[in-house]
């Protein structure tokens, strides 16, 4: 993999995800529970935002020459979340594919439009930081995998849940 190929894939996945959100469209539907278990689209987007913020912060650390090490103890995991406000998504102790209850609580009182604005800003930060990294830095830090893991794979998971939910709530034509 190389940077232009990853950027192309990321943008394609991003366009599909944004297109799906635009298709759902109505604020009322975006906050309705039941899209994935008890979660709403707003909840799923809050989870995506926190994963992207995790990635943006790690990319910034790489650019600044800092080293990140995943939490290897539950105390470390708790301290990480207390410090950053989101889970250590790369810790072997963290359950990877489930939204964090603390993240869901964090975004519960924030308006959907504000979550969207924050997410767009973080996504832009990811692109900007990635552009500054060399190919060797990407290889040294396994960034082709990590960027996929914290951006378009969550888009795909959320998109699959949204598609299933839309089929369930959309009446079939007679």
CB atoms within 10 A of CB 27: 12
Quick one: pLDDT at residue 174?
A: 61
101's tokens? 């209850």
User: Are the C-beta atoms of 146 and 55 separated by less than 8 Å?
Assistant: yes
Quick one: pLDDT at residue 26?
A: 64
pLDDT tens track for 63-97? 999 989 999 999 999 999 999 999 999 999 998 87
Give me the residue label for tokens 């232009």: 4
Backbone angles phi, psi at 79, to 5 degrees: -65, -40
Which CATH number applies to 3-169: 1.10.260.40, 3.90.226.10, 1.20.120.450, 3.30.450.40?
1.20.120.450
- Cα separation values, 101 from 21, 26, 34, 38, 43, Å: 22, 25, 16, 12, 10
Quick one: pLDDT at residue 49?
A: 96
pTM attached to this predicted model:
0.91
| Residue 27: pLDDT over 60 | no
User: Are the C-beta atoms of 88 and 81 separated by less than 8 Å?
Assistant: yes
The span from the CA of 35 to the CA of 163, in Å, is: 9
The span from the CA of 29 to the CA of 50, in Å, is: 21
Quick one: pLDDT at residue 121?
A: 97
pLDDT tens track for 28-51? 677 788 888 888 899 999 999 999
| Residue 5: pLDDT over 80 | yes
HSE-up (13 A, CA, CB side) for residue 93: 14
In percent, the amount of the chain with pLDDT more than 70 equals: 97
CB atoms within 10 A of CB 140: 11
HSE-up (13 A, CA, CB side) for residue 31: 11
The span from the CA of 7 to the CA of 92, in Å, is: 27
């Amino acid at each position: 993999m190389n940077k232009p190929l990853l950027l192309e894939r990321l943008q394609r996945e991003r366009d599909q995800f944004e297109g799906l959100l635009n298709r759902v469209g109505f604020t009322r539907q975006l906050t309705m529970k039941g899209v994935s278990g008890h979660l709403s689209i707003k909840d799923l987007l809050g989870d995506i935002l926190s994963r992207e913020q995790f990635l943006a912060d790690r990319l910034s650390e790489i650019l600044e020459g800092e080293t990140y090490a995943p939490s290897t103890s539950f105390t470390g995991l708790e301290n990480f979340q207390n410090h950053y406000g989101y889970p250590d998504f790369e810790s072997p102790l963290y359950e990877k594919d489930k939204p964090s209850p603390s993240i869901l609580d964090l975004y519960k009182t924030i308006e959907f439009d504000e979550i969207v604005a924050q997410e767009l800003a973080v996504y832009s930060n990811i692109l900007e930081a990635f552009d500054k990294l060399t190919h060797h830095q990407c290889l040294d830090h396994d960034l082709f995998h990590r960027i996929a893991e914290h951006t378009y794979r969550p888009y795909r998971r959320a998109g699959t849940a949204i598609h299933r939910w839309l089929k369930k709530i959309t009446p079939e034509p007679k």
